[in-house]
Amino acid sequence: MAMRVMLDNSIFGHSQFAEWAMGSPGPLFGIQDQHYEVLGAVRKKPHDDTAFQAQIDSLPTIGRLIREKRLEAFTYGELRCEKMQQFIGEPMFGAMTGCPIQSCPPAVERSRFYQGDYFAYARKGGKRDRKLGLETTIGQIPFMQMLCGLKEDFLPLWMPFKQALGLTEFEIESLKNLKCFQMLCKISDSAENYPDMFHLWTAQRNHMDAFVTLDSKMANIAMKIRRSSAIPIEYPTEVLQPLELLSILSISEPDPIPIEHGRFYTLHELCSRAPTERFSLFRAYQR
pTM for the complete prediction? 0.87
The predicted model gives 100-111 an average pLDDT of: 97
What are 116-172's pLDDT values in tens digits?
A: 988 889 889 988 888 888 888 999 999 999 999 999 889 998 899 899 999 999 999
Closest to 28 measured CA to CA, from 230, 266, 275, 276: 266
CB atoms within 10 A of CB 9: 21
pLDDT reported for residue 110? 96
Is pLDDT of 287 > 50?
no
Q: What amino acid occupies position 151? A: K
Dist CA 228 CA 234 (whole Å)? 14
- Residues 37-54 pLDDT 10s: 888 889 999 999 999 999
Highest mean pLDDT range out of 127-141, 180-194, 254-268?
180-194
Quote the pLDDT of residue 235: 77
**pLDDT for 276-285, tens place per residue?**
443 343 333 3
Reported confidence tier of residue 31, pLDDT bands at 50, 70, 90: low
Q: What are phi and psi of 22, to 5 degrees?
A: -105, 135
> What pLDDT was estimated at residue 20?
87
pLDDT given for residue 168 in this prediction: 96
Selected residue with higher pLDDT from 284 and 113: 113
Q: Taking the domains of the chain in order of start, what are their residue ranges?
A: 1-104+206-287, 107-199
Strand partners, 18: 43
Average pLDDT across the chain, whole number: 87
DSSP string, 28-58: -SSSS-----EEEEEEPPPPS-HHHHHHHHT
Digit-coded pLDDT (tens) for 211-220? 999 999 998 9
pLDDT over 50 (residue 71): yes
Confidence band, pLDDT 50/70/90 cuts, at residue 86:
low
Fill in the DSSP letter of residue 265.
E
End-to-end CA distance of the chain: 43
